[in-house]
Amino acid sequence: MNMMSRYPLRYLVIGILAAFSFLIGLLTYIATQPVVIQNVEEQAADRLRAELSRLQGVLQILLRAENSEGAQSVVVSLGSAPKHELALLTDARGVIIASTRLSDVGAVWTSLTPPLDRLMIDQVNISGGAVVRLMPDSRHLAGYVNICDPIITGTLRPPQCGFLYQRINLSQAREAAVDVLHRQAVAYGLGLAVLAGVLGIIFHRVVTRRVERLIATVNRFTDGDTAARAALEGQDELARVGEAFDSMAQTIANNQQELQRLNTQLERRVEERTRELQESEQRFRVIFEQAAVGVAQITSRSGEFVRINQRYCDILGYSQDEMLGRTFQEVTHSKNLPEDVNNMDCLLKGEIEKFSMEKHYTRKDGTTIWVNLFVSPMWQPGEEPSYHISVMEDVTERKMIEMEILQQRAELARSNADLQQFASVAAHDLQEPLRMVSSYTKLLGKRYVGKLDADADEFIAYAVDGANRMQTLIRDLLEYSRVGKGKLHISMIDCEEVVVQAVRNLQTLISERHAQMVWENLPHVRADISRLTQVFQNLFANAMKFCDAATIPRITVCAESRTMDWLFSVQDNGIGIKPEHSTKIFEVFQRLHNRTQYSGTGIGLALCKRIVEDHGGQIWVESTPEKGSTFFFTIAKE
């Protein structure tokens, strides 16, 4: 018992080698036995085939000499051998003329039990040689050979010719071969057992001690001695195992030190993260409680409030204790409840991720308020719906202001319509009396000119001029009021055609002033062609009007493509505009000069400004007094 506990590895190795030797012997025996038996069968078949061939010649000689007794004695003598169970000889009629069993003599071979193999007999009679086959019981070997003389019998077919049949029992030969195999396997196993013992002793001396040393080192290491090392000498596999263990132990020791360092860092980071989370939770609690909007946590299935901030309570007029346990259905106005419930159903089914809506809530005092509600889930996709966050903002005041704005817009639209109608009616109604005043004043001037005093002629001239200016002012004012009211007819137009049309409309003025018009490479833009023509026409007319009489007007039109729009410029060589008046000129009825110097109503540039802004653009001027002006305006590309 002490030996087993002291040297367990040695005996384990010896036992393993012995078992391995036994297993090899057993497998060798199992694998060799079929081969040995097959060799025995093949050798027996060769011997039987040779014996049949020998007996074929002997019996043919005896029968050719008509020595039947000699042939019978040869057949009977075959039964003296222990392995021969049966031998028989037939004549040309198929009658057994000799047999080791006397009871078979005189019988026909086809009546034997068990019957002989007719196919083999046919094969023997055709080939003339011996045929040997292992019988179905695997214990007997049967052989056939033709003994007829082919020259005498002719066609070798039974029953014209006879044959010799022999049957041999293979059991004794097989048992002898297996017995030899047994003895060899025992000897082989004993040899392997002895070899195993010798190898076990050698293994103990060469390997076991070093293995035990390695095991002891491993035990020390597992007990916590991370400095334990095997330090095995040599270049064999075990030494490499010890070296690998020492390397692994060193790596583990290093990793433990690194792990301790990382663990210290991790603990410190966990403490910091915990402190950050606590601070974050505190900030969230402060933000939640002091938020300017109402925030509530609601059970998604039942709609019950489980957490709510003070602002939410203030909006609805309840205390927190009164709100907890209530459902959002209880405080939702009846006309908004179906839509709200439908949105929650869609949220629970995953059809929407969140939703917002404006709805009515009923306060504790029974009053109805407007709120802007935003709802988002607190569960991940695929999880069971649990809670959702409801953020509510009181927008009652804003809704009231919106209603007032809508009312004011409606009132303003109605007022604008009334003003438009008034302007149209006033323009048309004033045209007729003005034409009458103008006509009769002109008639008065023609009839009484020179007949009254000079003051009367001057007064009549003032009256005619005033009536004409009043007609022009009313016509321009009506035109300005119409711009922006009608729908723009936007299409892709050629700006060169627009400029050409504006020049045609001003042909008389251009001819009188001998004005020079220059333009090139104007683009195609999306605009209302009639309105854009009006812009160019007004800018061209102003450029010629505000130009000294001694100067020939020169007007240049250019266009530049920019990212979002086209930039047009109309440059002239007129009297220019002071910088402080660059924005005033685009206002209605704003004039910088006396009517005696330059005519006009002050509506033309205001009209241009409205048309450009209707096209999504801007208009401005850059000018130097006495050197001319450049008007810029933009037309959006889309």
pLDDT of residue 607 exceeding 50, the answer is yes
The length of the chain is 638
Q: What is the pLDDT of residue 217?
A: 77
Q: What is the pLDDT of residue 138?
A: 73
Q: How far apart are CA 471 and CA 483, in angstroms?
A: 19
Q: Return mean pLDDT, the chain.
A: 77
Distances (CA, A) of 46 to 53, 54, 77: 11, 12, 20
Q: How far apart are CA 453 and CA 459, in angstroms?
A: 10
Locate 143 and state its tokens. Answer: 């052989």
Q: How far apart are CA 469 and CA 620, in angstroms?
A: 28
- 3-state SS of the chain: helix, strand, coil percent to 5? 55, 20, 25
Residues 48 and 168: beta-carbon distance below 8 Å: yes
Beta bridge partners of 407: none
| Weakest-pLDDT range from 45-59, 157-171, 472-486, 532-546 | 472-486
* CB-side neighbour CA atoms (13 Å) of 606: 18
pTM exceeds 0.95, yes or no: no
What element of type H or E holds 368?
A: strand 368-377
Do you find a cis peptide bond into 381, omega within 30 degrees of 0? Answer: no
Locate 421 and state its tokens. Answer: 């109608």
Q: What is the pLDDT of residue 3?
A: 45
pLDDT in tens, 369-387: 888 888 888 777 777 778 8
Q: Tokens 């957490």, residue?
A: 307
Distances (CA, A) of 62 to 76, 99, 149, 159: 14, 16, 11, 20
pLDDT in tens, 162-208: 888 888 887 777 777 777 767 777 777 677 767 766 766 666 666 66
pLDDT in tens, 411-466: 777 766 666 666 665 555 556 666 667 776 777 777 776 676 766 766 676 676 66
Cα separation of the two ends of the chain: 104
Distances (CA, A) of 352 to 170, 536, 559: 90, 54, 50
Distances (CA, A) of 283 to 228, 289, 291, 309, 608: 53, 10, 11, 14, 58
